[in-house]
Structure 1
């Protein structure tokens, strides 16, 4: 239970707090907690069993990262709405078939961020509308090749790895 919370930083996307808490074992601890509104990511599979991956520049990690189309939840926005919006904005795609692949917690020791994962199929092309601060390339990769690249360590983004492997599991059940 949080006993004391001090705001350290309030930015456009995240807030940083110093929180004093009493742990379940009775010990007192102090944590730096980054509060994030959460996000949604999409495994978009086309009729040829290819997955849409973005090769996106990420300054925080010093270069290019392979990722699923994804983005931050807007205030009051349902994760499914975020997923559909991001798929259109980043990949120029709309899907008529959606399935939840559950949630992941990106870094539970520091962040409150929860990422909601979705499988999107029955895709159609729409105009893309990427934001100016986003730099990426859209690629269509055979799904099995994406899994091989994930196992080999070429794909490193956690939401992308979990999304791909949960999709493989879902596809094996159908």
Structure 2
């Protein structure tokens, strides 16, 4: 069986600052029709970085959809005028106050392909030097530094539950 769906109709329901929501009627491989809801997202970056004591740099910020503060690696939405690597360098400095000399690309991964086209580019930042912490006016971020042992404990206890953070950490250990 061929794994394709032909789009019969598209309907844009919402165009926001970050996402677009559309619905589609599709034709399945067996000739039946189905309905799809799709979130269009420009994509993002997520950066694993370690300070001079080899501690992982994380940020804690309130995430409204989850109604709680999340502990995550520095990350951000792709800006169309920047490459993913340029976005990663910008987000790292804005959220942590560190610049990196180089980035190791860990790959791009779908965050939730069942309903969104968002791809997140994961990086491992190296050769950190002090920079200038900045950020968006509507972001309130605390910088947290964890050892590998503390990070793994946070995973086990459910303190760290952001999937892009888990993926970047895991990939940095495998590659």
TM-score (norm 2): 0.92
Residues of 2 paired with 1:139 and 1:79: CA distance? Answer: 24
Listed as ranges, the gaps of 5+ residues in structure 2 are 1-5
**1:56-135 to 2 correspondences below 5 Å:** 56-135=61-140
Give yes or no for contact 1:46–1:122 (8 Å, CA) kept in 2.
no
- Which residue of structure 2 aligns with residue 142 of structure 1? 147
Residues of 2 paired with 1:32 and 1:44: CA distance? Answer: 35
Shift in Å, 1:76: 3.9
Shift in Å, 1:168: 1.6
1:50 corresponds to 2:50? no
1:35 corresponds to 2:40? yes
1:3 corresponds to 2:8? yes
Residues of 2 paired with 1:39 and 1:65: CA distance? Answer: 17
Residues of 2 paired with 1:48 and 1:136: CA distance? Answer: 21
TM-score (norm 1): 0.92
Computed over aligned residues only, the root mean square deviation of the Cα atoms, in angstroms, reads 1.3
Q: Secondary structure at the match of 1:12?
A: coil
Aligned residues between the structures: 170
Q: Secondary structure at the match of 2:117?
A: coil
Deviates more, 1:40-49 or 1:116-125: 40-49
